Structure 1
């Protein structure tokens, strides 16, 4: 089923808007997850590098899956990432409360 151009535009804007929250969330969470104030610059650097790696490698990996196995195969790689990310957030939140 093909979407009309206005629907694609709205969905793309929502996707970019949600994705744009990631850098702010990373910088806001860094002071809470850093073991010591002296480690804050290192923590921000590691978070930024991991974020950039995901933005660089993720689309290529999903594109390779789609090219070799078709678009339905992308779900088998992308869907488990959401619960894994949610679990990581809960673990970090639990570590912050201790």
Structure 2
């Protein structure tokens, strides 16, 4: 396997953002940007098109998997934020009751 450096056009970068969540894997520009990636491995076999297509499809599947991972992590983070908010509210109400009891004494 050899690596063939191919420059990535600025227009490709504008259409396909660096963050996975902003990159539309269905757009032809995204596929073109992936194919033009400077670190994309190209097999030295005679069937370059199939190799590139396989690599592009694998990368798209990895992007989809990463997007799902990000969504799951966001859901987990939101749940943890809600739990923390509830814990803070419970602690504050406990402190309010404690202060009220102390002020009556």
Query: Which interval holds the TM-score relative to the shorter structure?
Result: 0.3 to 0.5
The TM-score with structure 2 as length reference comes to 0.37
Q: Which has the higher helix share?
A: 1
* Larger radius of gyration between Structure 1 and Structure 2: 2
The TM-score with structure 1 as length reference comes to 0.39
Higher relative contact order (CA 8 A, sep 6+): 2
